[in-house]
Amino acid sequence: MTSFLRALGPEHVGPIRARLALVLVVSALQGAVFALLVPVVAVLLGPDPAAVLPWVGALAGTTTVYAVLRALGLYANFSLGGSISRALHRRIGGHVVRLPLGWFTGARLGELNRTATSAVSQTMQVPVHIVPPLADAVVTPLVAVGVLAFYDWRLAAAAAVCAPLLWLAFRHGNAAVERNDAAVDAAGDEAAGRVLEYARAQPVLRAFGRVGTERSALDTALVAQHAAARRLLTRAVPAIVGFGFLVRLVFALLLVMAVYSALGGDLDAALLVGLLVLIARCIQPLGAAAELGAALRMARSGPDRINALLAVRPLPEPKTPADPPGSDIVFQDVSFAYGDGPDVLRDVSFTVAERSMTALVGPSGSGKTTVVRLLARFYDPTSGRITLGGADARAIGSDGVSERVAMVFQDVYLFDGSITDNIRVGRPGATDAEVARAATRAGLDPVLAELPKGADTRVGEGGVALSGGQKQRVSIARALLKDAPIIVLDEATAALDPENEAIVATAIGELARDRTLLVIAHRLGTVRNADQILFLDGRGIAERGTHDELLARDGRYADFLRSRERARGWRLTARPS
Protein backbone atom coordinates (compact mmCIF):
# COMPACT_ATOMS: atom_id res chain seq x y z
CA MET A 1 0.00 0.00 0.00
CA THR A 2 2.91 2.37 0.76
CA SER A 3 4.36 1.74 -2.68
CA PHE A 4 0.94 2.38 -4.22
CA LEU A 5 0.40 5.67 -2.35
CA ARG A 6 3.96 6.79 -3.14
CA ALA A 7 3.36 6.22 -6.85
CA LEU A 8 0.16 8.28 -6.75
CA GLY A 9 1.73 11.22 -4.94
CA PRO A 10 0.75 13.01 -1.70
CA GLU A 11 -2.37 14.73 -3.07
CA HIS A 12 -4.06 11.35 -3.54
CA VAL A 13 -3.42 10.02 -0.03
CA GLY A 14 -6.55 11.71 1.43
CA PRO A 15 -9.04 10.58 -1.27
CA ILE A 16 -7.63 7.04 -1.31
CA ARG A 17 -7.89 6.75 2.49
CA ALA A 18 -11.49 8.01 2.30
CA ARG A 19 -12.24 5.43 -0.40
CA LEU A 20 -10.63 2.71 1.72
CA ALA A 21 -12.72 3.73 4.75
CA LEU A 22 -15.88 3.51 2.62
CA VAL A 23 -14.84 0.07 1.35
CA LEU A 24 -14.32 -1.18 4.92
CA VAL A 25 -17.68 0.24 6.06
CA VAL A 26 -19.47 -1.39 3.11
CA SER A 27 -17.84 -4.77 3.82
CA ALA A 28 -18.72 -4.50 7.52
CA LEU A 29 -22.31 -3.61 6.57
CA GLN A 30 -22.42 -6.67 4.33
CA GLY A 31 -21.32 -8.72 7.36
CA ALA A 32 -24.10 -7.05 9.40
CA VAL A 33 -26.71 -7.89 6.73
CA PHE A 34 -25.60 -11.55 6.79
CA ALA A 35 -25.57 -11.49 10.60
CA LEU A 36 -29.13 -10.14 10.78
CA LEU A 37 -30.26 -13.17 8.78
CA VAL A 38 -29.55 -15.27 11.92
CA PRO A 39 -32.24 -13.71 14.21
CA VAL A 40 -34.64 -13.29 11.27
CA VAL A 41 -34.46 -16.99 10.37
CA ALA A 42 -34.30 -18.10 14.00
CA VAL A 43 -37.35 -16.06 15.09
CA LEU A 44 -39.28 -16.96 11.94
CA LEU A 45 -38.82 -20.67 12.61
CA GLY A 46 -39.28 -20.25 16.37
CA PRO A 47 -42.41 -20.30 18.53
CA ASP A 48 -43.37 -16.65 17.92
CA PRO A 49 -42.87 -15.81 14.18
CA ALA A 50 -44.70 -12.48 14.60
CA ALA A 51 -41.78 -11.21 16.68
CA VAL A 52 -39.71 -11.20 13.49
CA LEU A 53 -40.97 -7.77 12.40
CA PRO A 54 -38.42 -5.62 14.29
CA TRP A 55 -35.63 -7.89 12.95
CA VAL A 56 -36.98 -7.63 9.42
CA GLY A 57 -37.08 -3.83 9.87
CA ALA A 58 -33.46 -3.82 11.06
CA LEU A 59 -32.46 -6.08 8.15
CA ALA A 60 -34.30 -3.89 5.61
CA GLY A 61 -32.75 -0.69 7.06
CA THR A 62 -29.21 -2.11 7.12
CA THR A 63 -29.62 -3.57 3.64
CA THR A 64 -30.79 -0.19 2.29
CA VAL A 65 -27.83 1.68 3.80
CA TYR A 66 -25.50 -1.08 2.55
CA ALA A 67 -26.96 -0.96 -0.98
CA VAL A 68 -26.75 2.85 -1.16
CA LEU A 69 -23.14 2.91 0.07
CA ARG A 70 -22.18 0.01 -2.23
CA ALA A 71 -23.69 1.88 -5.20
CA LEU A 72 -21.87 5.07 -4.16
CA GLY A 73 -18.65 3.05 -3.96
CA LEU A 74 -19.16 1.62 -7.45
CA TYR A 75 -19.85 5.10 -8.81
CA ALA A 76 -16.76 6.44 -6.98
CA ASN A 77 -14.72 3.64 -8.59
CA PHE A 78 -15.38 5.00 -12.05
CA SER A 79 -14.12 8.48 -11.25
CA LEU A 80 -11.33 7.12 -9.02
CA GLY A 81 -10.01 4.89 -11.83
CA GLY A 82 -10.02 7.80 -14.27
CA SER A 83 -8.42 10.23 -11.85
CA ILE A 84 -5.71 7.73 -10.86
CA SER A 85 -4.75 7.04 -14.47
CA ARG A 86 -4.75 10.78 -15.29
CA ALA A 87 -2.66 11.57 -12.21
CA LEU A 88 -0.16 8.80 -12.97
CA HIS A 89 0.20 9.81 -16.61
CA ARG A 90 0.74 13.42 -15.53
CA ARG A 91 3.33 12.39 -12.92
CA ILE A 92 5.18 10.09 -15.32
CA GLY A 93 5.05 12.64 -18.16
CA GLY A 94 6.11 15.52 -15.90
CA HIS A 95 9.05 13.46 -14.63
CA VAL A 96 10.19 12.00 -17.93
CA VAL A 97 10.53 15.43 -19.57
CA ARG A 98 12.99 16.38 -16.82
CA LEU A 99 15.16 13.28 -17.24
CA PRO A 100 18.56 13.69 -18.88
CA LEU A 101 18.48 12.89 -22.60
CA GLY A 102 21.08 10.20 -22.01
CA TRP A 103 18.40 8.20 -20.15
CA PHE A 104 16.40 7.58 -23.34
CA THR A 105 18.09 4.48 -24.73
CA GLY A 106 16.27 1.79 -26.75
CA ALA A 107 15.77 -0.55 -23.77
CA ARG A 108 14.50 2.34 -21.66
CA LEU A 109 11.87 3.21 -24.26
CA GLY A 110 10.44 -0.33 -24.00
CA GLU A 111 10.42 0.03 -20.20
CA LEU A 112 8.81 3.47 -20.39
CA ASN A 113 6.15 2.12 -22.71
CA ARG A 114 5.25 -0.65 -20.24
CA THR A 115 5.29 1.80 -17.31
CA ALA A 116 2.95 4.26 -19.03
CA THR A 117 0.53 1.51 -20.10
CA SER A 118 0.41 -1.73 -18.09
CA ALA A 119 1.94 -0.33 -14.86
CA VAL A 120 -0.64 2.49 -14.80
CA SER A 121 -3.50 0.08 -15.42
CA GLN A 122 -2.18 -2.34 -12.75
CA THR A 123 -1.96 0.52 -10.24
CA MET A 124 -5.48 1.62 -11.10
CA GLN A 125 -6.76 -1.94 -10.54
CA VAL A 126 -5.68 -1.93 -6.87
CA PRO A 127 -8.29 0.41 -5.32
CA VAL A 128 -10.92 -0.17 -8.02
CA HIS A 129 -11.02 -3.91 -8.64
CA ILE A 130 -8.91 -5.63 -5.99
CA VAL A 131 -9.25 -3.91 -2.60
CA PRO A 132 -13.11 -3.82 -2.43
CA PRO A 133 -13.63 -7.61 -2.92
CA LEU A 134 -10.57 -8.32 -0.74
CA ALA A 135 -12.16 -6.24 2.04
CA ASP A 136 -15.36 -8.28 1.56
CA ALA A 137 -13.28 -11.46 1.81
CA VAL A 138 -11.72 -10.46 5.12
CA VAL A 139 -14.09 -8.06 6.93
CA THR A 140 -17.40 -9.80 6.18
CA PRO A 141 -16.32 -13.19 7.67
CA LEU A 142 -14.79 -11.34 10.67
CA VAL A 143 -18.16 -9.75 11.42
CA ALA A 144 -19.75 -13.18 11.04
CA VAL A 145 -17.33 -14.66 13.60
CA GLY A 146 -18.30 -11.83 15.98
CA VAL A 147 -21.97 -12.78 15.56
CA LEU A 148 -21.15 -16.46 16.09
CA ALA A 149 -19.42 -15.50 19.35
CA PHE A 150 -22.63 -13.79 20.45
CA TYR A 151 -24.77 -16.90 19.85
CA ASP A 152 -22.35 -19.77 20.47
CA TRP A 153 -18.86 -19.19 21.86
CA ARG A 154 -17.66 -22.70 20.92
CA LEU A 155 -18.37 -22.18 17.23
CA ALA A 156 -16.67 -18.76 17.38
CA ALA A 157 -13.66 -20.27 19.17
CA ALA A 158 -13.38 -22.99 16.53
CA ALA A 159 -13.50 -20.35 13.79
CA ALA A 160 -10.89 -18.25 15.65
CA VAL A 161 -8.59 -21.28 15.95
CA CYS A 162 -8.90 -21.96 12.20
CA ALA A 163 -8.21 -18.31 11.28
CA PRO A 164 -4.38 -18.49 11.65
CA LEU A 165 -4.41 -21.65 9.55
CA LEU A 166 -6.28 -19.82 6.79
CA TRP A 167 -3.90 -16.87 7.15
CA LEU A 168 -0.89 -19.15 6.70
CA ALA A 169 -2.44 -20.71 3.57
CA PHE A 170 -3.19 -17.22 2.26
CA ARG A 171 0.44 -16.15 2.85
CA HIS A 172 1.68 -19.33 1.19
CA GLY A 173 -0.30 -18.50 -1.99
CA ASN A 174 1.01 -14.93 -1.94
CA ALA A 175 4.59 -16.08 -1.44
CA ALA A 176 4.29 -18.42 -4.45
CA VAL A 177 3.15 -15.49 -6.57
CA GLU A 178 5.81 -13.19 -5.11
CA ARG A 179 8.63 -15.63 -5.89
CA ASN A 180 7.63 -15.94 -9.53
CA ASP A 181 6.06 -12.59 -10.35
CA ALA A 182 9.38 -10.71 -10.53
CA ALA A 183 10.65 -13.28 -13.05
CA VAL A 184 7.48 -12.89 -15.15
CA ASP A 185 7.91 -9.12 -15.07
CA ALA A 186 11.59 -9.25 -16.06
CA ALA A 187 10.80 -11.71 -18.86
CA GLY A 188 8.00 -9.36 -20.03
CA ASP A 189 10.45 -6.43 -20.13
CA GLU A 190 12.97 -8.45 -22.07
CA ALA A 191 10.33 -9.62 -24.58
CA ALA A 192 8.95 -6.05 -25.02
CA GLY A 193 12.49 -4.76 -25.68
CA ARG A 194 13.17 -7.58 -28.15
CA VAL A 195 9.94 -6.90 -30.05
CA LEU A 196 10.99 -3.24 -30.49
CA GLU A 197 14.48 -4.32 -31.50
CA TYR A 198 13.08 -6.87 -33.96
CA ALA A 199 10.87 -4.22 -35.56
CA ARG A 200 13.73 -1.72 -35.81
CA ALA A 201 16.19 -4.29 -37.13
CA GLN A 202 13.93 -5.44 -39.97
CA PRO A 203 16.08 -3.88 -42.74
CA VAL A 204 19.22 -5.64 -41.47
CA LEU A 205 17.45 -8.95 -40.81
CA ARG A 206 15.86 -8.98 -44.25
CA ALA A 207 19.09 -7.99 -45.93
CA PHE A 208 20.60 -11.14 -44.43
CA GLY A 209 17.56 -13.29 -45.23
CA ARG A 210 16.51 -13.61 -41.57
CA VAL A 211 12.77 -13.29 -42.09
CA GLY A 212 11.37 -15.63 -39.42
CA THR A 213 11.85 -15.30 -35.67
CA GLU A 214 13.15 -18.85 -35.07
CA ARG A 215 16.43 -18.99 -33.17
CA SER A 216 16.40 -15.19 -32.80
CA ALA A 217 16.81 -13.24 -29.57
CA LEU A 218 13.10 -12.38 -29.85
CA ASP A 219 12.19 -16.05 -30.08
CA THR A 220 14.30 -16.85 -27.00
CA ALA A 221 12.74 -13.94 -25.09
CA LEU A 222 9.20 -15.02 -25.99
CA VAL A 223 9.90 -18.64 -25.00
CA ALA A 224 11.40 -17.42 -21.71
CA GLN A 225 8.35 -15.22 -21.06
CA HIS A 226 6.04 -18.14 -21.75
CA ALA A 227 8.06 -20.39 -19.41
CA ALA A 228 8.05 -17.76 -16.64
CA ALA A 229 4.27 -17.32 -16.93
CA ARG A 230 3.78 -21.11 -16.85
CA ARG A 231 6.00 -21.39 -13.76
CA LEU A 232 3.93 -18.72 -12.04
CA LEU A 233 0.72 -20.54 -12.90
CA THR A 234 1.95 -23.97 -11.85
CA ARG A 235 3.16 -22.61 -8.47
CA ALA A 236 0.32 -20.19 -7.72
CA VAL A 237 -2.73 -22.15 -8.91
CA PRO A 238 -2.30 -25.13 -6.51
CA ALA A 239 -1.83 -22.68 -3.62
CA ILE A 240 -4.97 -20.75 -4.59
CA VAL A 241 -7.06 -23.89 -5.11
CA GLY A 242 -5.67 -25.31 -1.85
CA PHE A 243 -6.81 -22.20 0.01
CA GLY A 244 -10.34 -22.51 -1.40
CA PHE A 245 -10.37 -26.16 -0.30
CA LEU A 246 -9.22 -25.22 3.21
CA VAL A 247 -11.95 -22.57 3.51
CA ARG A 248 -14.58 -25.14 2.66
CA LEU A 249 -13.04 -27.62 5.11
CA VAL A 250 -13.21 -25.06 7.93
CA PHE A 251 -16.84 -24.31 7.15
CA ALA A 252 -17.64 -28.01 7.00
CA LEU A 253 -16.08 -28.35 10.45
CA LEU A 254 -18.20 -25.47 11.77
CA LEU A 255 -21.32 -27.00 10.23
CA VAL A 256 -20.60 -30.38 11.84
CA MET A 257 -19.98 -28.69 15.20
CA ALA A 258 -23.20 -26.67 14.92
CA VAL A 259 -25.29 -29.70 13.99
CA TYR A 260 -23.64 -31.70 16.77
CA SER A 261 -24.51 -28.97 19.30
CA ALA A 262 -28.09 -28.86 18.03
CA LEU A 263 -28.44 -32.63 18.30
CA GLY A 264 -27.08 -32.48 21.85
CA GLY A 265 -29.70 -29.86 22.68
CA ASP A 266 -27.15 -27.10 23.26
CA LEU A 267 -28.30 -25.14 20.22
CA ASP A 268 -31.82 -24.25 19.28
CA ALA A 269 -32.80 -25.86 15.91
CA ALA A 270 -34.17 -22.58 14.53
CA LEU A 271 -30.96 -20.79 15.52
CA LEU A 272 -28.98 -23.58 13.89
CA VAL A 273 -30.67 -22.87 10.56
CA GLY A 274 -29.91 -19.14 10.95
CA LEU A 275 -26.24 -19.85 11.72
CA LEU A 276 -25.99 -22.25 8.77
CA VAL A 277 -27.30 -19.50 6.50
CA LEU A 278 -24.68 -17.08 7.93
CA ILE A 279 -21.84 -19.57 7.50
CA ALA A 280 -22.89 -20.45 3.96
CA ARG A 281 -23.05 -16.77 2.94
CA CYS A 282 -19.44 -16.19 4.06
CA ILE A 283 -17.87 -19.05 2.08
CA GLN A 284 -17.94 -17.30 -1.28
CA PRO A 285 -16.20 -13.99 -0.33
CA LEU A 286 -13.62 -15.71 1.90
CA GLY A 287 -12.93 -18.36 -0.74
CA ALA A 288 -11.91 -15.62 -3.19
CA ALA A 289 -9.32 -14.19 -0.76
CA ALA A 290 -6.34 -16.18 -2.07
CA GLU A 291 -7.04 -15.26 -5.67
CA LEU A 292 -7.43 -11.57 -4.74
CA GLY A 293 -4.29 -11.69 -2.62
CA ALA A 294 -2.39 -13.06 -5.63
CA ALA A 295 -3.90 -10.35 -7.85
CA LEU A 296 -2.85 -7.70 -5.30
CA ARG A 297 0.66 -9.12 -5.21
CA MET A 298 0.94 -9.12 -8.99
CA ALA A 299 -0.52 -5.62 -9.27
CA ARG A 300 2.20 -4.39 -6.89
CA SER A 301 4.73 -4.53 -9.69
CA GLY A 302 2.79 -1.61 -11.30
CA PRO A 303 3.40 0.96 -8.54
CA ASP A 304 6.90 -0.49 -7.97
CA ARG A 305 7.75 0.13 -11.61
CA ILE A 306 6.31 3.67 -11.50
CA ASN A 307 8.24 4.43 -8.30
CA ALA A 308 11.45 3.13 -9.88
CA LEU A 309 10.93 5.51 -12.81
CA LEU A 310 10.11 8.43 -10.51
CA ALA A 311 13.27 7.66 -8.53
CA VAL A 312 15.51 8.31 -11.56
CA ARG A 313 17.03 11.64 -10.72
CA PRO A 314 16.83 14.47 -13.24
CA LEU A 315 19.97 16.53 -13.75
CA PRO A 316 20.24 19.35 -11.21
CA GLU A 317 18.94 22.61 -12.69
CA PRO A 318 19.98 26.10 -11.56
CA LYS A 319 17.42 28.40 -9.90
CA THR A 320 18.71 31.39 -11.85
CA PRO A 321 20.31 30.08 -15.05
CA ALA A 322 23.49 31.75 -16.28
CA ASP A 323 23.15 33.42 -19.69
CA PRO A 324 26.65 33.99 -21.08
CA PRO A 325 26.88 35.88 -24.39
CA GLY A 326 29.81 33.90 -25.89
CA SER A 327 29.80 30.55 -27.69
CA ASP A 328 33.28 29.15 -27.10
CA ILE A 329 33.41 25.64 -25.65
CA VAL A 330 35.85 24.52 -22.97
CA PHE A 331 36.20 20.96 -21.64
CA GLN A 332 38.25 21.14 -18.45
CA ASP A 333 39.62 17.81 -17.11
CA VAL A 334 36.39 16.07 -18.07
CA SER A 335 36.00 12.41 -17.13
CA PHE A 336 32.92 10.36 -17.85
CA ALA A 337 31.67 6.78 -17.51
CA TYR A 338 28.24 5.35 -18.43
CA GLY A 339 26.74 4.13 -15.14
CA ASP A 340 29.15 1.78 -13.39
CA GLY A 341 31.09 1.13 -16.61
CA PRO A 342 34.74 2.06 -17.24
CA ASP A 343 35.80 5.64 -18.01
CA VAL A 344 35.06 6.44 -21.65
CA LEU A 345 36.76 9.83 -21.27
CA ARG A 346 39.45 10.55 -18.73
CA ASP A 347 40.72 14.07 -17.92
CA VAL A 348 39.82 15.40 -21.34
CA SER A 349 40.62 19.09 -21.86
CA PHE A 350 40.18 21.12 -25.02
CA THR A 351 38.91 24.49 -26.19
CA VAL A 352 36.81 25.25 -29.25
CA ALA A 353 37.21 28.95 -29.97
CA GLU A 354 34.14 30.99 -30.89
CA ARG A 355 33.22 30.62 -34.61
CA SER A 356 35.84 27.94 -35.20
CA MET A 357 35.50 24.35 -36.33
CA THR A 358 36.75 21.34 -34.36
CA ALA A 359 36.61 17.85 -35.83
CA LEU A 360 36.35 14.78 -33.61
CA VAL A 361 38.08 11.82 -35.23
CA GLY A 362 38.76 8.35 -33.93
CA PRO A 363 37.93 4.70 -34.33
CA SER A 364 34.47 3.35 -33.52
CA GLY A 365 33.83 3.42 -29.78
CA SER A 366 36.55 6.00 -29.12
CA GLY A 367 34.14 8.43 -27.43
CA LYS A 368 33.24 10.95 -30.18
CA THR A 369 29.49 10.68 -29.58
CA THR A 370 30.07 10.80 -25.83
CA VAL A 371 31.88 14.16 -26.18
CA VAL A 372 28.96 15.71 -28.07
CA ARG A 373 26.41 14.16 -25.67
CA LEU A 374 28.24 15.80 -22.78
CA LEU A 375 28.38 19.11 -24.63
CA ALA A 376 24.60 18.96 -25.23
CA ARG A 377 24.11 17.96 -21.55
CA PHE A 378 22.60 14.55 -22.20
CA TYR A 379 24.68 13.78 -19.10
CA ASP A 380 26.87 15.76 -16.70
CA PRO A 381 30.55 14.73 -16.53
CA THR A 382 31.61 12.48 -13.66
CA SER A 383 34.32 15.02 -12.88
CA GLY A 384 35.69 18.18 -14.45
CA ARG A 385 33.59 20.88 -16.08
CA ILE A 386 32.28 22.00 -19.42
CA THR A 387 31.79 25.69 -20.06
CA LEU A 388 29.91 27.42 -22.87
CA GLY A 389 30.69 31.10 -23.31
CA GLY A 390 32.64 30.92 -20.03
CA ALA A 391 29.75 29.62 -17.87
CA ASP A 392 29.48 26.06 -16.54
CA ALA A 393 26.85 24.02 -18.46
CA ARG A 394 25.33 23.09 -15.08
CA ALA A 395 24.88 26.79 -14.28
CA ILE A 396 23.35 27.46 -17.70
CA GLY A 397 20.92 24.56 -17.17
CA SER A 398 19.54 21.99 -19.64
CA ASP A 399 17.13 24.42 -21.33
CA GLY A 400 19.85 27.06 -21.74
CA VAL A 401 22.29 24.52 -23.18
CA SER A 402 19.62 23.23 -25.52
CA GLU A 403 18.91 26.80 -26.72
CA ARG A 404 22.61 27.31 -27.46
CA VAL A 405 23.34 24.00 -29.16
CA ALA A 406 21.71 22.71 -32.36
CA MET A 407 22.36 19.11 -33.28
CA VAL A 408 22.41 17.75 -36.80
CA PHE A 409 22.53 13.97 -36.64
CA GLN A 410 22.57 11.36 -39.36
CA ASP A 411 19.56 9.40 -38.10
CA VAL A 412 17.03 12.20 -38.36
CA TYR A 413 13.72 11.60 -36.65
CA LEU A 414 10.81 12.83 -38.74
CA PHE A 415 7.44 13.27 -37.04
CA ASP A 416 4.26 12.23 -38.76
CA GLY A 417 3.39 15.69 -40.13
CA SER A 418 4.18 18.01 -43.01
CA ILE A 419 7.73 18.98 -43.94
CA THR A 420 6.94 22.47 -42.65
CA ASP A 421 5.91 21.00 -39.28
CA ASN A 422 9.09 18.96 -39.21
CA ILE A 423 11.30 21.98 -39.87
CA ARG A 424 9.37 24.10 -37.39
CA VAL A 425 10.51 21.72 -34.61
CA GLY A 426 13.70 23.85 -34.72
CA ARG A 427 11.76 26.87 -33.43
CA PRO A 428 8.06 26.27 -32.79
CA GLY A 429 7.22 30.01 -32.92
CA ALA A 430 8.73 30.53 -36.39
CA THR A 431 6.56 32.03 -39.13
CA ASP A 432 5.87 30.19 -42.41
CA ALA A 433 8.19 32.62 -44.19
CA GLU A 434 11.04 31.84 -41.76
CA VAL A 435 10.47 28.11 -42.22
CA ALA A 436 10.48 28.52 -46.01
CA ARG A 437 13.74 30.53 -45.84
CA ALA A 438 15.41 27.85 -43.70
CA ALA A 439 14.25 25.20 -46.21
CA THR A 440 15.77 27.19 -49.08
CA ARG A 441 19.08 27.70 -47.26
CA ALA A 442 19.20 23.96 -46.44
CA GLY A 443 18.87 23.14 -50.15
CA LEU A 444 15.40 21.65 -49.79
CA ASP A 445 13.69 23.63 -52.59
CA PRO A 446 14.40 21.07 -55.35
CA VAL A 447 12.98 18.33 -53.07
CA LEU A 448 9.84 20.34 -52.26
CA ALA A 449 9.26 21.11 -55.95
CA GLU A 450 9.00 17.38 -56.66
CA LEU A 451 6.50 16.62 -53.87
CA PRO A 452 2.74 16.65 -54.55
CA LYS A 453 1.92 19.30 -51.96
CA GLY A 454 5.37 20.89 -51.62
CA ALA A 455 6.26 21.77 -48.02
CA ASP A 456 2.78 20.69 -46.89
CA THR A 457 3.40 17.07 -47.96
CA ARG A 458 3.22 14.64 -45.06
CA VAL A 459 6.40 12.76 -44.28
CA GLY A 460 7.27 9.99 -41.87
CA GLU A 461 4.72 7.36 -40.93
CA GLY A 462 1.87 7.44 -43.40
CA GLY A 463 3.56 10.03 -45.62
CA VAL A 464 6.25 10.06 -48.28
CA ALA A 465 9.64 8.72 -47.34
CA LEU A 466 12.65 11.00 -47.79
CA SER A 467 16.11 9.78 -48.72
CA GLY A 468 19.00 9.96 -46.24
CA GLY A 469 20.40 13.13 -47.83
CA GLN A 470 16.95 14.76 -47.96
CA LYS A 471 16.31 13.95 -44.32
CA GLN A 472 19.64 15.45 -43.39
CA ARG A 473 18.65 18.63 -45.19
CA VAL A 474 15.46 18.77 -43.08
CA SER A 475 17.66 18.42 -40.03
CA ILE A 476 19.92 21.24 -41.25
CA ALA A 477 16.85 23.42 -41.91
CA ARG A 478 15.72 22.78 -38.32
CA ALA A 479 19.13 23.86 -37.05
CA LEU A 480 19.15 26.96 -39.28
CA LEU A 481 15.74 27.91 -37.94
CA LYS A 482 16.85 27.37 -34.39
CA ASP A 483 19.73 29.79 -35.03
CA ALA A 484 21.81 28.44 -32.11
CA PRO A 485 25.39 29.75 -31.84
CA ILE A 486 26.88 26.24 -31.43
CA ILE A 487 26.33 23.47 -33.97
CA VAL A 488 27.04 19.82 -33.30
CA LEU A 489 27.19 17.85 -36.50
CA ASP A 490 27.43 14.10 -36.93
CA GLU A 491 28.49 13.57 -40.52
CA ALA A 492 26.77 10.81 -42.41
CA THR A 493 28.83 7.63 -42.50
CA ALA A 494 26.70 6.22 -45.30
CA ALA A 495 27.77 7.43 -48.70
CA LEU A 496 25.43 9.95 -50.30
CA ASP A 497 25.20 10.22 -54.05
CA PRO A 498 27.45 13.00 -55.43
CA GLU A 499 24.53 15.40 -56.06
CA ASN A 500 23.14 14.98 -52.55
CA GLU A 501 26.62 15.14 -51.08
CA ALA A 502 27.30 18.49 -52.77
CA ILE A 503 23.96 19.97 -51.66
CA VAL A 504 24.38 18.76 -48.08
CA ALA A 505 27.95 20.14 -48.01
CA THR A 506 26.72 23.55 -49.19
CA ALA A 507 23.88 23.52 -46.64
CA ILE A 508 26.35 22.64 -43.88
CA GLY A 509 28.62 25.47 -45.05
CA GLU A 510 25.62 27.79 -44.73
CA LEU A 511 24.90 26.46 -41.25
CA ALA A 512 28.53 26.72 -40.12
CA ARG A 513 28.90 30.36 -41.10
CA ASP A 514 29.55 32.51 -38.01
CA ARG A 515 28.92 29.63 -35.67
CA THR A 516 31.01 27.45 -33.37
CA LEU A 517 31.13 23.99 -34.84
CA LEU A 518 31.94 20.61 -33.32
CA VAL A 519 31.82 17.85 -35.94
CA ILE A 520 32.04 14.09 -35.67
CA ALA A 521 33.98 13.93 -38.90
CA HIS A 522 33.79 11.10 -41.37
CA ARG A 523 34.89 13.01 -44.48
CA LEU A 524 38.32 14.02 -45.53
CA GLY A 525 37.08 17.43 -46.73
CA THR A 526 35.86 18.22 -43.21
CA VAL A 527 39.04 17.28 -41.38
CA ARG A 528 41.10 19.25 -43.84
CA ASN A 529 39.06 22.37 -43.18
CA ALA A 530 38.90 21.98 -39.40
CA ASP A 531 40.74 24.56 -37.30
CA GLN A 532 41.53 21.77 -34.86
CA ILE A 533 41.30 17.98 -34.96
CA LEU A 534 40.92 15.99 -31.75
CA PHE A 535 41.88 12.34 -32.25
CA LEU A 536 40.15 10.20 -29.59
CA ASP A 537 41.18 6.69 -28.59
CA GLY A 538 38.57 5.50 -26.08
CA ARG A 539 40.16 7.15 -23.03
CA GLY A 540 40.81 10.67 -24.11
CA ILE A 541 42.54 12.82 -26.69
CA ALA A 542 45.51 10.92 -28.09
CA GLU A 543 46.55 13.62 -30.59
CA ARG A 544 45.45 17.14 -31.45
CA GLY A 545 46.32 19.68 -34.11
CA THR A 546 45.45 20.62 -37.66
CA HIS A 547 45.31 18.05 -40.45
CA ASP A 548 48.71 19.13 -41.78
CA GLU A 549 50.34 19.15 -38.33
CA LEU A 550 49.01 15.69 -37.52
CA LEU A 551 50.09 14.28 -40.88
CA ALA A 552 53.54 15.72 -40.34
CA ARG A 553 53.66 14.02 -36.93
CA ASP A 554 52.85 10.70 -38.65
CA GLY A 555 51.27 9.29 -35.46
CA ARG A 556 47.96 7.63 -34.73
CA TYR A 557 45.86 10.11 -36.71
CA ALA A 558 47.98 9.51 -39.80
CA ASP A 559 47.71 5.74 -39.22
CA PHE A 560 43.95 6.02 -38.84
CA LEU A 561 43.65 8.01 -42.07
CA ARG A 562 45.77 5.45 -43.89
CA SER A 563 43.45 2.65 -42.79
CA ARG A 564 40.46 4.78 -43.88
CA GLU A 565 42.19 5.45 -47.16
CA ARG A 566 42.48 1.74 -47.78
CA ALA A 567 38.86 1.16 -46.81
CA ARG A 568 37.21 4.10 -48.52
CA GLY A 569 39.56 5.79 -50.89
CA TRP A 570 40.45 8.80 -48.75
CA ARG A 571 43.54 10.41 -50.33
CA LEU A 572 46.21 11.17 -47.76
CA THR A 573 47.81 14.47 -48.71
CA ALA A 574 48.59 17.63 -46.87
CA ARG A 575 46.37 20.63 -47.65
CA PRO A 576 47.55 22.20 -50.88
CA SER A 577 49.23 25.46 -50.03
Ligand X SMILES: Nc1ncnc2c1ncn2[C@@H]1O[C@H](COP(=O)(O)OP(=O)(O)OP(=O)(O)O)[C@@H](O)[C@H]1O
Binding footprint of ligand X on the chain (CB under 6 A) = 105, 338, 341, 344, 362, 364-370
Cα 343 from chain centre: 27
Q: Which CB atom, from 31 or from 540, has the smaller least distance to ligand X? A: 540
Q: Closest Cα to residue 490, out of 370, 575, 389?
A: 370
Q: Closest Cα to residue 35, out of 278, 345, 370?
A: 278
Q: Which CB atom, from 370 or from 500, has the smaller least distance to ligand X? A: 370
Minimum gap (Å) between residue 528 Cβ and ligand X = 19
d(CA 394, CA 375): 11
Cα 492 from chain centre: 31
Q: Which CB atom, from 362 or from 400, has the smaller least distance to ligand X? A: 362
Q: Closest Cα to residue 357, out of 119, 533, 167?
A: 533
Minimum gap (Å) between residue 540 Cβ and ligand X = 12
Element (H, E) at 395: helix 393-404
Minimum gap (Å) between residue 113 Cβ and ligand X = 18
Minimum gap (Å) between residue 364 Cβ and ligand X = 3
Q: Which CB atom, from 338 or from 570, has the smaller least distance to ligand X? A: 338
- The answer to whether 508 and 470 are in contact (CB under 8 A) is no
Minimum gap (Å) between residue 566 Cβ and ligand X = 18
- The answer to whether 491 and 523 are in contact (CB under 8 A) is yes
- The answer to whether 335 and 495 are in contact (CB under 8 A) is no
Minimum gap (Å) between residue 96 Cβ and ligand X = 17
- The answer to whether 468 and 532 are in contact (CB under 8 A) is no
**Amino acid at residue number 565:** E
Q: Which CB atom, from 6 or from 523, has the smaller least distance to ligand X? A: 523
Q: Which CB atom, from 198 or from 379, has the smaller least distance to ligand X? A: 379
Cα 10 from chain centre: 21
Minimum gap (Å) between residue 368 Cβ and ligand X = 4
Q: Which residues pair with 331 in a beta bridge?
A: 350, 386
Minimum gap (Å) between residue 339 Cβ and ligand X = 7
Q: Which CB atom, from 343 or from 501, has the smaller least distance to ligand X? A: 343
Minimum gap (Å) between residue 521 Cβ and ligand X = 11
Q: Which CB atom, from 305 or from 368, has the smaller least distance to ligand X? A: 368
Tell me how far CA of residue 263 lies from CA of 44, 147, 192, 256, 337, in angstroms.
Answer: 20, 21, 63, 10, 80
Q: Which residues pair with 352 in a beta bridge?
A: 329
Pairing of strands 458-459, 391-392: unpaired
Q: Closest Cα to residue 479, out of 419, 410, 408, 420?
A: 408
Q: Environment class of residue 446 by beta-carbon count within 10 Å: exposed (0-12), middle (13-18) or buried (19+)?
A: exposed
Minimum gap (Å) between residue 88 Cβ and ligand X = 27
Q: Which CB atom, from 366 or from 422, has the smaller least distance to ligand X? A: 366
Helix axes 269-287, 289-299, angle to 10 degrees: 20
Minimum gap (Å) between residue 97 Cβ and ligand X = 19
- Its sign, for the CA torsion 51, 53, 57, 60, is positive
Tell me how far CA of residue 130 lies from CA of 4, 32, 141, 291, 552, in angstroms.
Answer: 13, 22, 17, 10, 74
Minimum gap (Å) between residue 101 Cβ and ligand X = 11
Q: Which CB atom, from 344 or from 408, has the smaller least distance to ligand X? A: 344
Q: Which CB atom, from 283 or from 412, has the smaller least distance to ligand X? A: 412
DSSP, collapsed to helix, strand or coil, labels residue 542 as: strand
Tell me how far CA of residue 257 lies from CA of 209, 246, 266, 267, 536, in angstroms.
Answer: 73, 16, 11, 10, 84
Q: Which CB atom, from 73 or from 538, has the smaller least distance to ligand X? A: 538
